[in-house]
C-alpha cells in the first residue's frame, strides 16, 4: 500500500498533511456566536448585584402621589400606593435573581444525586435496586403535580417567605433535571470502561463519582438555564396570585398584581416596567440555552 493512500481510522480519513478537516472551519465560523449570547444574562446578573444601588428613592416607602405618570423625578412613575416603580424594579433584580439561582442550584444538585442512583441501580436486586426504583417513582409522582398547584399548597402551609418559596419550587422543578440526568446515566452505565473499572475493584461510590458522574452531568448543567427561567416565571406567578413575597418588599410578581387595576384604566407604567424586567431575565436565560446547544452542535 502506498503512503499516499488514504487510511480510514474510526470515523476520520487521514489523507495527508495538506488535507484540512472541515470541522475546524465550521467551528471557526460558528463558535464566536457563543459569547455574545451570554451578554444579556451577564447584564441580568450585574443588575442583581448593583440593582439596589441604582435606586433613586426608597423601594419600600411612599415617596410620591398615587399612580403618577413617569417624570423627571419618578422615571417609571409611581404605583397605586405611591411607591417609586423604577426603584422597586431595579431593587427586585437582586431578590428575584437570587431566588432563581438558589432554586436552580438546589434542584440541580438534588437531581444529579437522584438521577445517579435511580439510573445506575434501577435494575439491581436488593436494597440498592429498591431504593433506585422508589426514587424513580417519586420523581414521576412529583412531576405529575402541576408546578403552580404544588407551590400554592406548600407556601400556604409553611408561609410566604423567600426560603419557603425557594425550597418549594426547587422540589417541584427538580424532576425536570433528574429525568435528564437519569437518561444520561442509563446511557453511560453500559459503556465498557464502567465494567472495566468495576472489574478492577473500584468501589461503587468511587465508580459513580469518578466515572459515571463526569460522563453524565453535562446535559443537566446545560439545562440549568432553562430551570433558571422557569424559576423566575413561577416565582413571579406566585407573587401575582398573592402568595409570593409579601409587600412592600420589591418583587416583580407582586408589583404586577398591584399594578393590574391601574393598567386596566390606562395607567400602563405600573405593569410595563416590572413585566419588561421579568421578560429580560427569562429571555437572557433562553439565550444561554441556545448558546450551549449551538456550541454542542458545533463541537460535534
Cell 417541584 belongs to residue: 172
Cell 398573592 belongs to residue: 242
Whole-number Å distance between alpha carbons of 30 and 298: 7
Please, which residues have CB within 8 angstroms of residue 228's CB and are 6 or more apart in sequence? 100, 101, 103, 104, 285, 288
| pLDDT attached to residue 218 | 86
| pLDDT attached to residue 13 | 37
| pLDDT attached to residue 300 | 60
What are the two backbone dihedrals, phi and then psi, of residue 161, each rounded to the nearest 5 degrees?
-145, 170
Contact between 214 and 284 under an 8 Å Cβ cutoff? The reply is no
Contact between 87 and 75 under an 8 Å Cβ cutoff? The reply is no
For the question of whether the overall pTM of this predicted structure is more than 0.85, the answer is: no
Whole-number Å distance between alpha carbons of 88 and 255: 8
| pLDDT attached to residue 21 | 40
Cell 432554586 belongs to residue: 103
| pLDDT attached to residue 270 | 92
Q: Which helix (H) or strand (E) holds 13?
A: strand 12-14
Tens-digit pLDDT string for the chain (300 aa): 444 444 443 444 334 444 444 444 444 444 557 788 889 999 999 999 999 999 999 998 999 889 899 998 899 999 988 999 999 999 999 999 999 999 999 999 999 999 888 888 877 777 878 888 888 888 888 888 888 888 888 888 888 889 999 999 999 999 999 989 988 888 887 777 777 777 777 777 777 777 788 888 888 888 888 899 999 999 999 999 888 888 888 999 999 999 999 999 889 999 999 999 999 999 998 888 777 766 666 666
Alpha helices (runs of H) in the chain, residue ranges in sequence order: 22-30, 34-50, 85-121, 127-144, 147-158, 162-188, 192-199, 204-207, 218-222, 224-240, 252-264, 269-299
The residue count of the chain comes to 300
Amino acid at each position: 500500500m502506498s503512503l499516499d493512500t488514504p487510511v480510514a481510522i474510526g470515523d476520520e480519513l487521514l489523507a495527508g498533511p495538506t488535507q484540512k478537516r472541515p470541522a475546524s472551519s465550521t467551528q471557526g465560523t460558528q463558535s464566536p456566536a457563543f459569547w455574545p449570547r451570554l451578554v444579556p444574562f451577564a447584564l441580568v446578573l450585574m443588575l442583581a448585584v448593583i440593582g439596589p444601588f441604582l435606586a433613586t428613592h426608597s423601594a419600600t416607602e411612599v415617596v410620591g402621589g398615587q399612580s403618577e405618570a413617569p417624570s423627571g423625578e419618578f422615571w417609571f412613575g409611581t404605583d397605586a400606593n405611591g411607591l417609586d416603580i423604577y426603584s422597586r424594579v431595579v431593587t427586585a433584580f437582586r431578590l428575584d435573581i437570587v431566588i432563581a439561582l438558589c432554586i436552580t442550584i438546589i434542584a440541580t444538585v438534588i437531581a444529579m444525586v437522584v438521577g445517579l442512583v435511580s439510573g445506575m441501580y434501577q435494575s439491581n436486586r436488593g436494597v440498592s435496586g429498591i431504593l433506585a426504583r422508589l426514587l424513580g417513582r417519586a420523581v414521576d409522582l412529583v412531576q405529575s403535580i402541576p408546578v403552580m398547584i404544588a407551590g400554592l399548597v406548600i407556601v400556604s402551609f409553611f408561609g410566604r417567605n423567600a426560603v419557603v418559596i425557594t425550597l418549594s419550587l426547587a422540589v417541584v422543578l427538580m424532576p425536570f433535571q433528574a429525568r435528564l440526568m437519569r437518561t444520561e446515566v442509563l446511557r453511560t452505565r453500559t459503556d465498557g470502561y464502567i465494567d472495566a473499572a468495576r472489574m478492577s475493584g473500584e468501589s461503587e461510590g468511587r465508580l459513580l463519582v469518578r466515572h459515571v458522574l463526569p460522563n453524565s452531568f453535562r446535559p443537566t448543567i446545560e439545562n440549568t438555564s432553562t430551570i433558571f427561567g422557569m424559576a423566575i416565571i413561577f416565582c413571579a406567578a406566585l407573587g401575582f396570585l398573592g402568595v409570593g413575597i409579601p409587600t412592600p418588599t420589591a418583587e416583580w410578581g407582586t408589583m404586577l398584581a398591584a399594578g393590574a387595576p391601574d393598567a386596566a384604566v390606562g395607567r400602563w407604567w405600573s405593569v410595563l416596567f416590572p413585566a419588561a424586567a421579568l421578560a429580560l431575565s427569562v429571555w437572557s436565560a433562553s439565550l444561554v440555552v441556545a448558546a450551549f446547544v449551538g456550541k454542542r452542535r458545533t463541537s460535534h
